[in-house]
Structure 1
Amino acid sequence: MAKPTEAKQNETLYHTIPLSELTQTLKTNPTSGLSETEVQSRLSTYGKNQLKGETRKSIFRLFIAQLQDALIYVLFAAVIITVFMGEYIDGIIITAVILINATLGVVQEVRAGNAIEALRKMASPRALVRRDGQVKEVNSEDIVPGDIVVLDAGRYIPADLRLVEAVNLQIDESALTGESVAVTKEADATFTEEYIPLGDRTNLAYMSTLVTYGRGTGVVTGTGLQTEVGKIANILSQDDETKTPLEIRLNQLGKTLGKAALAICVLIFVISFFQGRDLAEMFLTSVSLAVAAIPEGLAAIVAVVLSIGVTKMAKQNAIIKRLPAVETLGSVNIVCSDKTGTLTQNKMTVQEFFNFTDKHKKVSESTDLSVDGILLSEAMVLSSDATLENDEGTGDPTEIALLQLADDLKIDRKTLLAEAPRIDERAFDSDRKMMSTFHQQNGQYVVYTKGAIDRLILKCKYVLEDGEIIPMTETHKKLISDAADTMSNKALRTLAAAYKPMDKQIPAEHFEKDLVMIGVVGMIDPPREEVKDAISIAKEAGITTVMITGDHKNTALAIAKELGIASDLSEATSGAAINHMTQAELESHIQEYKVFARVSPEHKVNIVKAFKSKGNIVSMTGDGVNDAPSLNAADIGVAMGIEGTDVAKNASDMILADDNFSTIISAIEQGRNIYNNIKKSVIFLLACNVGEVITMLIAIIAGLPVPLIATQLLWINLVTDTLPAVALGMDPGNPDVMKEKPRTTNENFFSHGAGKRVILAGTFIGILTIVAFAAGYYIHGYSPFANTIPEEVHEYARTLAFLTIIACQLLYSFSFRHEYKSIFKIGFFSNVYLFGAVLIGFGLQFLVLYIPFMAEAFKLQALGVKEWGLVMSLSLSLLLGDEIIKLVIRRGK
């Protein structure tokens, strides 16, 4: 038997092929199965029934990949420069920053790369097969195409199957299709249409889904990567990892700073050459200034700020797997959410019911029910095979919901079951669409039947009204039909119940004749209570919530309307419609839809990519195997921590520990605030560095002595700037951040006037530093342009310049806490970390200035009160000037 190509096998439409033809093609016998000899032959042809992951990169390769970034290159250049200058400690610090960041990146990438390994673990380890005419248990990885697999309740399906036999067979396919209700399978079902959603292919069963009820057999049509789960593994392994917006911005910033540093070196060197300065000294000065132009601590500060944010978010049930994903959340403007278990409770719940006495009622309003209303629920309990104890249920989700209804109505189920023991039953089948149980109750025999309304009503001759059994009329039929239509219009799944009291025992084939109609119940997987408010907050923040589900269109739209996601049928589409679109057509219409129903895993990925093609930053939430590819394709994937599969968790960037949709909105708020804090740190650092550059350029262009020597520049850049920058990254969140629109994809750190502020602040810092520098000469009676000046005067002037530029930077850091709000309104103490950083910064300067060996190392002089007064006056003038600018901005707004 030749091995088909992967493409051909993936395209095979097994639900359309007659079973007899399929068994001939696979050369198997449903009665006896394959022989062991044939199994071994096919194992060598098809390989093991397992999901083989792609070859994993070595830790070394992952580590090297982390170093291939423009900003990292700039940091390496800074290491070389500082080591060349003899500043070995500074070189060690920068190197440590690079290595720590690369290590963290490797750890995160290794975690994220476990998705396919988790898929492999989902396969059932053992399976029942029929071989050589005998049923035996084998390892699921030894199953081959053509094997006959025996299915029973509670067993995972080991491979993709075409069903040969199905007796009351129900399979939970929620992890693959997203549907919360188990699917009833029909082995003899036939289909002619090629495209049918996975959940509607009732003659097929899929690998890693669970048999919840009944029994059956099936012939294996696909194993390993040729299964539907295997296709998902392929999608995961083929999808390219994309950089987050923060990574892109930092990469761009690194390139910009690298070019700026090179330009500064060249400019100073050229100017110094024409001025006739000492070229050796100016080389050291120029490279020092190049280091000053590059915020070496930027990568470390960003990592610290992100880590602080991650810790805070973890306490709020949002677990971040990749640090840059925190910032990505703040950019999200499209949240593509799975319905089942994410927007809804993943728990079928009876919402409404109807009987001829109480009429139409909601469960929440069902107080003082009539005897007829109580009997409706009791009938549902007695004709059920499910169990429900301590909120833990087994069996069909629909039947579990009916047991919960009885509990809500305060019916004692244990007493009821004890007083009405089951004697006989007629099991459910897909032809009758009903089931009946036969009980001995209160000295007589009673049949209880539940099933589809359109089938059950044909078996009813009477109705129960006001406690009496009366003949059914056309009026009764219309009442119950209208009640069912009302529920169906709300996307409720309807189920009817009837009964028949008797004085003797009868055969099972006579159970469903001349029944008494009791009433109808309507149920649905209801939305989570907190989700509607979360979606409303998201909408105010400019974030669109989109539902992507494997459920039916009407049900999905009903939930979407209730949650405020969609308001009209035109905003919903289906997988069948998407299947007839090209990707270009989908992209052109993608903004029209808010609900996507009956979609496959491939559709989910295409939908996410279509939204991204329009410039959106897309988040995808989900919990099942079917969500993993789209989680991986999205800018940020969010998996459920409680109900989520390992596959979804490993493919995601963030995990919700409480499976709460509102946690996503909280995380987005945190992401926005964290990005704002990172931006504050970046802009502050750059403003300080520009101040250092401006100081040096003004002095050199004006022909002044060098105001700051190399060691002083490195001290300022690596120590003094860093503390306030980290503290700004820990700023309390802006309470109004969710009233703002998401950042656009082309926004960078210099948007909204931040670039102008860097230049303006840097210029003022430079000018004030030059003023202090020049004052140092004039205080001693010298002009800074004089040819002969004692070295101690140079040191005195440089000390004033050194302290002034540091004090300007420390005090000016308070102004970066908000773009236009006054620091006097925000408060100096509302960020205790920043206040502490400023105090520590001044403390460090006192140490450098008044400890003799440190003062000598940095070529500084101890200053008195008069000089400190000059330094503080100049520094405070910068902060007050910024307050005036903010006042003008506020009045403009």
Structure 2
Amino acid sequence: MEDSSMESDLKRRHLSEVVLKKWRKERFRRTRKYESRFSETEEWRTTFSLVKTHRRRFRHESVFEKQTNVLEKQSDVIEKGSTLADRLINIKDWRTSVARIKMQARRFRRVSDLEKRSTHVDRLSKAKDNLKVTFLTIRAAMRYMDAHQLSLNPKSTANPFDFIKNPDKVASMVHDSSIPQQSSLNPMSTANPSDFMLNPDKLASIVHNYDIETLKTLGGVDAIAEIVDVWMHEGVESSDLSSRQATYGINKYSEKPSKSFLMFVWEAIHDPTLIILIVCSVVLIGMGLETKGWLDGLGILLSILLVITITAVSDYYIQSFQFKDDDKKKKKISFQVTRDGCTQKVTDYELVVGDVVHLFIGDQVPADGIFISGFNFLIDESSLTGESDPVHISEKKPFLFAGTIVQDGSATMLVTAVGVKTEWGKLMEKLNKGEDKITRVLQIKVKDVATIIEKIGWVFSVLTFFVLTVRFLVEKAMRNEFSSWSSNDAMSMLGHFTTAVTIIVATVTKGIPLALTLSLAFAMNKLRNDNARVTNPSACEAMCFCTCICTDMTGTLTTNRMFVDKIFLSGETKEARDNGGRVLSLGLSDSVSAVLLQGIFKCTGSEVVDDESGKTSILGTPTETAILQYGLDLGGDFNAIDSDIRMLKINSFNSTQKKMSVIVSLPGVRTRAFCKGAPEVVLGLCDKMIDVGGEIVPMSEENMNFITDVVDEFVADGLQTLCLAYLDVEGSFGCNDDIPEGGYTLIAVFGIKDPLRPGVKEAVETCLDAGISVHMVTGDDIRRAEVIAKQCGILTDDGLAIEGSDFRIIPRLVQVMASSSPTDKHEFVKHLKDMSEVVAVAGEGMIRAPALQESDIGFAMGIAGTKVTKGQADVILMDDDFTTIVKVAKWGRAVYVNIQKFVQFQLTVNIVALMINLVSACITGSAPLTAVQLLWVNLIMCTLSALALATGPPNDGLMKRPPVKGTESFITKTMWRNIISQSIYQMAVLFVLNFSGKPILNLHGPNATVILNTFIFNTFVFCQVFNDINSREIDDINVFRGMFSSWIFMCVMISIVVCQVTIVEFLGTFASIVPLDWQLWVLSIVVGLVSIPISVVLNTAREAWVRLKSSYASALRSHIISLKSKLVKNPKGNRSITDFLQDMRLIADDLALAQNPIYEEDLMVHILSQLGDEYANIVAAIKLRETALSYSELFEKLIDFERGLRETSQNPISSLITANYTSRQPGR
């Protein structure tokens, strides 16, 4: 029995050795050193209990039981040793017990000290780590083999782990040599979860662990495609989507769970003021059970409950639905994928494992995957690794990670992991668990106002309680009753406490934050209907502070629906289309037509596809689409040319090179290169062109000048220009060879038209009227940018159009910055912000992302925008239209003004209620307005008024006033005038009624006091009703404008009046009031109505003062305009530098005296722009300085230069001296 067991054991070990040798031969043949292989082999032997010469393993022990005991001792020894010294002692003891080595002292003779022994242990640890990787690879390979067996025998229930656990199965597989072939799988079969061979976590770990060895062992990306059951040229079948999502997951990250309604209730209860009011109400109920005092406490509790409910409902609706809904739509981005054998557009949420995704510049990689093919593919992995250097992705480095950004080139990738299986998904999971912390400027201002009001209320409440208590104690002492206390005294103190509580209630400002929330929600909802999705609520607020807008040209000011309008071909300019938009025949020879269509269809990063209905569409950028569409309109067959001509290499277009180059293999073993890009780049590569007769002629200087004039003519017409050229390459071309950079033949120059969007010019004028400057910041040619800017009204006569490299010395006068890089755009925005400008930036491409991040308000294009820009943006323009930005600005100002209206109304209520109760309590010892009445006015009525005032639509007058300054006080002088005037009127009336109301109203009897207090309460409420109407317009005479067309406002006013009638007539006991007769009702309404004429009179007086002031100021305004005109048009001429600079300084000083000072930098710009041509060198040197000059420094340099000109005017080598002077300029 023992012999058969030993024989089986030896056989098992022998077969395992066979597997190891075969695997090790392939694994370590060229990649591992001998020492590494040896250490890993030893680890393998230890795991499988293998010994090189197994007969000698226990040569000193003959009994099997003793062998077992030795193994147990060995296990104990391994578990014991915690330190290196302990291990050495245990090893010596063990070797002595089993007589393994006769001379134990020689065991570490070559590592005699502990440091060397420690190094030895570290090496062993590294070997173990490598062995772990080895076992993972073996396990993956074994699973792959087992999956193959399963595909051949579906009924098989083999477990892949059996190949590790059971060496007999390993041996049988080795002897059978059943290695799976790539063709063994059928990717066209119907997909279901059992067909996907690798575990999702294991499949994801290949990319996550950057396991290139496992990828090679499995057979590369082709093998992975077979494992996930997909043909890469066909893509995933639509019928497989649900099963793939069930197996591998969906490409979504778990969102932060929405708060329940009870959570919002809980948050509302935590308000300190409400907590104190709840405590006070409980005290009032407990102490007033024997009297009717408990009604005040119960009323306060019910009012607080209603306020908490309203606050929770509004927050639950707005925060849980609207803002999150916008954020989800913001994140939903479309990508091009290959599915069902054709290219389709799907959202990133719809991606599944196995999808073949096409990636282009600016895309954010939507999932983890493996590179299939591509050209010059660079990835920015800084979002994951923090490294700013781009990573070149190729077959050697094929792994792509979700969340990274495509910086250059294009590629296709095979998706291997989605959603939370990706590293980016795990990061998003953690971020979504964090708390939302959004700080908004307007929110801070509103909160500050509310906090100040409540603090004032607390101070006056304590002061009132102190005065009443002292008064009570003094009266008690004067009656010699200080030592005796009764229940009546306790009730008196309770009354004083109740009065103090009413003071607190009078200053509760719960309506102000609610008004802000309602106003933002209403504005965001309206903007959604106007094609603007606000993803960051603070953007709505910030737009009221916006002072300048930096916008791109293409797609924002223009329609981005481009078409070829003119073409230069065969030596002449031709119209591409007639007035009806139909393509005109070019009359070309077959050879010229062929090379033109080849260049159009092959030198492109876009694709022509046919959908299921057979309709042809083009997937690509608008510029590429225009050229491809033109090729199709000429009768070209994209699919035929694409199949006949094989692509060898491609250098994708980028903003730095400004060109795209390809190498293709033509039928007949010919190789041809095509180049397409900006004229200034492509023309420099051409030494030949096609003439009128279709012949190739040299590119002479005359021909080059003629073509340059054609390009200038196209640009002057506002057309975008692109040149197309070709080169027949001699000999063979290898994939590692570079595409030629010269010797091309010019084929054509395309003039591409992008029409202006309707309404853009009017929108720009609206911005200028609103004090918002508009700057065009684009990467396009400066000449074309100037044409478009003038058509839009952006570039004016006194404005400047410059290139990106020159802007750093130019301040606010820059209206067009063309040929700008992403760095230029970012620096331009930063420069404006440093000048205290509030900047809004609109853009679509990845190059706009840094500028969007730097800006105060970022706008992204919803149609043409990339995921990167949308991720950085605060507002997404769903129609990509500049006019939508103006709508956002208008609504932003409306939000600010609406909150001001409500704050004006709320402060009037608080001041009147506070003063009437405070003064009355201090004089008479009681307050006419009870806590329940004040809660009704301050909480319920003000909450409804917040809905009425905070949802007002914007009017045209908002865009005819300057932007709000961030440092400007939220409560303006006009608001204080309205607040104080209305408060004085209301307090005067209520004080008269409180102290002399009974004789005036002829009230007698035991209920006279209650009736008077009810009348005061009723009058106070109707004063607020009509003051609500006054607050609709802060500084307008006609307060009724648009009131009857606002159904929300009318419903709120009617609701307040109905509630007031109900409280007075039917809930008298609860509110400590009694019903009033009709005369008192009419009198209450009349007293409240008087507040409207007061507001009209004040606004009329203000309007008259403004007109009077403007009439006297018109002369000053004319003087300012004259000075500014003189400053712009004051050339130096024959004057000396001293006289010229003194004149310019005098003009600047006059402007300062007229309270319209000019910036020092702007003055220097005007000076430099009006110097003669002889100062061109010094002007260029100053513009190239990294730091700006002061006026005194500029004065000195110009004086020195002028002196040098005089001295060199008689010197024939003056140009050399001037050049030398320029090179010596400091700061360069």
TM-score normalized by structure 2? 0.52
Query: 757, 761, 773: which is aligned to 2:978?
Result: 757
Query: 488, 506, 516: which is aligned to 1:302?
Result: 516
Contact 1:689 1:762 in 2 (8 A): no
Q: Structure 1 residues 724, 650: CA separation in 2 closer, same or farther (over 3 Å shift)?
A: same
- Which residue does 1:30 correspond to in 2? none
Q: Structure 1 residues 395, 747: CA separation in 2 closer, same or farther (over 3 Å shift)?
A: closer
Deviation string 1:392-431 (CA, Å, 9 cap, x unpaired) is 3146865532233356xx64446x999x999768978669
How many matched pairs? 777
Query: 404, 411, 436: which is aligned to 2:629?
Result: 404
Residue 1044 of structure 2 aligns to a residue whose secondary structure is coil
Residue 638 of structure 1 aligns to a residue whose secondary structure is strand
Query: 989, 1013, 1023: which is aligned to 1:768?
Result: 989
Identity of aligned residues (%): 21
Shift of 1:355: 4.3
Q: Aligned runs of 1:583-598 on 2, under 5 Å?
A: 595=817
Residue 826 of structure 1 aligns to a residue whose secondary structure is coil
Q: Aligned runs of 1:516-665 on 2, under 5 Å?
A: 519-523=748-752, 528=757, 531-546=760-775, 563=792, 565=794, 571-573=802-804, 595=817, 599=821, 611-623=832-844, 631=852, 634-646=855-867, 648-665=869-886
In the aligned structure 1, how far is the partner of 2:330 from the partner of 2:1054?
Answer: 51
Paired AA for residue 439 in structure 2: K
- Which residue does 1:209 correspond to in 2? 406
Contact 2:990 2:1020 in 1 (8 A): yes
Contact 2:719 2:754 in 1 (8 A): no
Query: 1105, 1115, 1119: which is aligned to 1:892?
Result: 1105
Q: Structure 1 residues 638, 215: CA separation in 2 closer, same or farther (over 3 Å shift)?
A: closer
Q: Structure 1 residues 564, 295: CA separation in 2 closer, same or farther (over 3 Å shift)?
A: same
- Which residue does 1:798 correspond to in 2? 1013
Residue 859 of structure 2 aligns to a residue whose secondary structure is strand
Q: Structure 1 residues 588, 64: CA separation in 2 closer, same or farther (over 3 Å shift)?
A: farther
Shift of 1:727: 1.5
Structure 1: gaps spanning 5 or more residues: 1-22, 24-33, 127-139, 143-149, 178-194, 217-223, 501-505, 579-585, 783-788
Contact 1:327 1:671 in 2 (8 A): yes
Q: Structure 1 residues 330, 498: CA separation in 2 closer, same or farther (over 3 Å shift)?
A: same
Shift of 1:450: 7.2
Moved more, 717-726 or 333-342: 333-342
- Which residue does 2:1199 correspond to in 1? none
Query: 667, 683, 692: which is aligned to 1:464?
Result: 692
Structure 2: gaps spanning 5 or more residues: 1-30, 32-129, 138-203, 212-250, 284-296, 340-350, 414-420, 476-491, 652-658, 734-739, 1107-1228
Structure with the higher fraction of residues in strand conformation? 1
Query: 381, 400, 425: which is aligned to 2:597?
Result: 381
Moved more, 743-752 or 150-159: 150-159
Contact 1:351 1:363 in 2 (8 A): yes
In the aligned structure 1, how far is the partner of 2:837 from the partner of 2:430?
Answer: 25
In the aligned structure 1, how far is the partner of 2:1105 from the partner of 2:268?
Answer: 41
Q: Structure 1 residues 165, 115: CA separation in 2 closer, same or farther (over 3 Å shift)?
A: closer
- Which residue does 2:1065 correspond to in 1? 850
- Which residue does 2:462 correspond to in 1? 266
Shift of 1:91: 1.9
Shift of 1:746: 2.0
Shift of 1:211: 9.0
Q: Aligned runs of 1:806-817 on 2, under 5 Å?
A: 806-817=1021-1032
In the aligned structure 1, how far is the partner of 2:971 from the partner of 2:765?
Answer: 31
Paired AA for residue 840 in structure 2: S
Q: Structure 1 residues 360, 159: CA separation in 2 closer, same or farther (over 3 Å shift)?
A: same
In the aligned structure 2, how far is the partner of 1:883 from the partner of 1:241?
Answer: 43
In the aligned structure 1, how far is the partner of 2:758 from the partner of 2:573?
Answer: 27
Q: Structure 1 residues 368, 405: CA separation in 2 closer, same or farther (over 3 Å shift)?
A: closer
Contact 1:803 1:871 in 2 (8 A): yes
Paired AA for residue 1071 in structure 2: F
Paired AA for residue 392 in structure 1: S
Residue 303 of structure 2 aligns to a residue whose secondary structure is helix
- Which residue does 2:1036 correspond to in 1? 821
Residue 753 of structure 1 aligns to a residue whose secondary structure is helix
Q: What is the alpha-carbon root mean square deviation over aligned residues?
A: 6.2
In the aligned structure 2, how far is the partner of 1:537 from the partner of 1:373?
Answer: 49
Paired AA for residue 1031 in structure 2: F
Shift of 1:454: 3.1
Contact 1:552 1:598 in 2 (8 A): no
In the aligned structure 1, how far is the partner of 2:1061 from the partner of 2:1093?
Answer: 24
Query: 917, 937, 941: which is aligned to 1:720?
Result: 941
Paired AA for residue 533 in structure 2: I
In the aligned structure 1, how far is the partner of 2:558 from the partner of 2:391?
Answer: 21
Residue 567 of structure 2 aligns to a residue whose secondary structure is strand
Shift of 1:96: 3.1
In the aligned structure 2, how far is the partner of 1:593 from the partner of 1:816?
Answer: 39
Deviation string 1:697-722 (CA, Å, 9 cap, x unpaired) is 34335548532222222222223333
- Which residue does 1:875 correspond to in 2? 1088
Query: 851, 861, 872: which is aligned to 2:1074?
Result: 861
- Which residue does 1:28 correspond to in 2? none
Q: Aligned runs of 1:505-520 on 2, under 5 Å?
A: 519-520=748-749
Residue 350 of structure 1 aligns to a residue whose secondary structure is strand
Deviation string 1:309-349 (CA, Å, 9 cap, x unpaired) is 22222211222334454333333223344566545556665
Contact 2:822 2:848 in 1 (8 A): no
Moved more, 205-214 or 690-699: 205-214
In the aligned structure 2, how far is the partner of 1:890 from the partner of 1:591?
Answer: 34
Query: 486, 501, 521: which is aligned to 1:287?
Result: 501
Deviation string 1:96-137 (CA, Å, 9 cap, x unpaired) is 345456655577887799899989x999999xxxxxxxxxxx
Deviation string 1:492-528 (CA, Å, 9 cap, x unpaired) is 443146899xxxxx9999xx99999764223477765
Shift of 1:797: 0.7
Q: Structure 1 residues 166, 417: CA separation in 2 closer, same or farther (over 3 Å shift)?
A: closer
Residue 264 of structure 1 aligns to a residue whose secondary structure is helix
- Which residue does 2:442 correspond to in 1? 246
Q: Structure 1 residues 820, 766: CA separation in 2 closer, same or farther (over 3 Å shift)?
A: same
Shift of 1:666: 0.9
Deviation string 1:248-301 (CA, Å, 9 cap, x unpaired) is 112211321221111220232244345449442122122212212223233233
Q: Structure 1 residues 736, 755: CA separation in 2 closer, same or farther (over 3 Å shift)?
A: same
In the aligned structure 2, how far is the partner of 1:249 from the partner of 1:668?
Answer: 19
Residue 721 of structure 1 aligns to a residue whose secondary structure is helix
- Say whether residues 1:354 and 2:568 are aligned partners: yes
In the aligned structure 2, how far is the partner of 1:204 from the partner of 1:487?
Answer: 44
In the aligned structure 2, how far is the partner of 1:158 from the partner of 1:368?
Answer: 38
Q: Structure 1 residues 233, 541: CA separation in 2 closer, same or farther (over 3 Å shift)?
A: farther
In the aligned structure 2, how far is the partner of 1:81 from the partner of 1:262?
Answer: 14
Paired AA for residue 796 in structure 1: I
Paired AA for residue 359 in structure 1: T
Q: Aligned runs of 1:318-333 on 2, under 5 Å?
A: 318-333=532-547
Residue 749 of structure 2 aligns to a residue whose secondary structure is strand
Q: Structure 1 residues 715, 429: CA separation in 2 closer, same or farther (over 3 Å shift)?
A: closer
Residue 330 of structure 1 aligns to a residue whose secondary structure is coil
Q: Aligned runs of 1:74-85 on 2, under 5 Å?
A: 74-82=273-281, 84=283, 85=297
- Say whether residues 1:480 and 2:707 are aligned partners: yes
Contact 1:817 1:823 in 2 (8 A): no
Contact 1:728 1:834 in 2 (8 A): yes
Q: Structure 1 residues 885, 704: CA separation in 2 closer, same or farther (over 3 Å shift)?
A: farther
Contact 2:800 2:813 in 1 (8 A): no
Moved more, 808-817 or 342-351: 342-351
In the aligned structure 2, how far is the partner of 1:608 from the partner of 1:67?
Answer: 43
Paired AA for residue 691 in structure 2: V
- Say whether residues 1:495 and 2:723 are aligned partners: yes
Residue 568 of structure 2 aligns to a residue whose secondary structure is strand
Moved more, 89-98 or 706-715: 89-98
- Which residue does 1:777 correspond to in 2? 998
Residue 746 of structure 1 aligns to a residue whose secondary structure is coil
